[in-house]
């Protein structure tokens, strides 16, 4: 369906940091901070407009659980969660995902 679906299915290699039945966390291929991870739901949906309520609950729980991964992933000093939606935001992969940026002091976001 898309590059992230191929990664989830193991057709495209990735550096996987976490996996459960509903999510994977991988390194972004092109780091925009010292640490740059992607939280990717295994369900393919392009935008929040397509997200079901159940998928919204799953993502909310995943973000809550992520707070326990900070030490393992080198994010003890804080991190930024970021989601691009649509063309104006520069969304390049149409499979909702959360960017996690950290490992250094980040510039102020626009
Ligand atoms: P977006 O621009 O849609 O918010 O984010 C897509 C992200 O996916 C980009 O930061 C890009 O570097 C990353 N990306 C695109 N293709 C691949 C890939 O094949 N492997 C990994 N690990 N990341 C990818
Ligand atoms: Zn997909």
Active-site option among 44, 95, 97, 99: 97
Residue 108 domain-assigned (yes or no): no
Domain that holds residue 85: 3-102
Q: Which residues of 71-95 are buried (b: 16+ CB within 10 A; e: fewer)?
A: eebebeeebeeeebeeeeeebeebb
| Closest C-alpha residue for ligand 1 atom 20 | 29
Residue 13 domain-assigned (yes or no): yes
Residue 32 domain-assigned (yes or no): yes
pLDDT value of position 110: 85
Residue 110 domain-assigned (yes or no): no
Digit-by-digit pLDDT tens for the chain (110 residues) are 899 999 999 999 999 999 999 999 999 999 999 999 999 999 999 999 999 999 999 999 999 999 999 999 999 999 999 999 999 999 999 999 999 999 999 999 88
CATH, residue 24: 3.30.428.10
The structure's pTM equals 0.98
Residue 109 domain-assigned (yes or no): no
Residue 65 CA, chain-centre distance (Å), reads: 13
Structural domain total, the chain: 1
Task: Quote the CA–CA distance of 25 and 87 in Å, as a whole number.
Answer: 24
pLDDT value of position 44: 98
Residue 95 annotated as catalytic: no
CA atoms within 13 A of residue 65's CA, in its CB half-sphere? 14
Task: Among 30, 33, 36, say which to mutate for ligand 1: greatest number of ligand atoms within 8 Å of CB.
Answer: 30
Residue 73 domain-assigned (yes or no): yes
């Amino acid at each position: 369906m898309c590059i992230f679906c191929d990664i989830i299915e193991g057709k495209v290699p990735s550096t996987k940091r976490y996996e459960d039945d509903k999510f994977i966390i991988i390194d972004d291929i092109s780091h925009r901070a010292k640490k740059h991870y992607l939280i990717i739901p295994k369900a393919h949906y392009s935008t929040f407009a397509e997200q079901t309520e159940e998928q919204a609950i799953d993502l909310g729980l995943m973000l809550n659980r992520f707070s326990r991964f900070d030490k393992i992933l080198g994010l003890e000093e804080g991190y930024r969660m970021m989601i691009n939606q649509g063309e104006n935001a520069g969304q390049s992969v149409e499979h909702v995902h959360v960017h996690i940026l950290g490992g250094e002091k980040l510039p102020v976001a626009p």
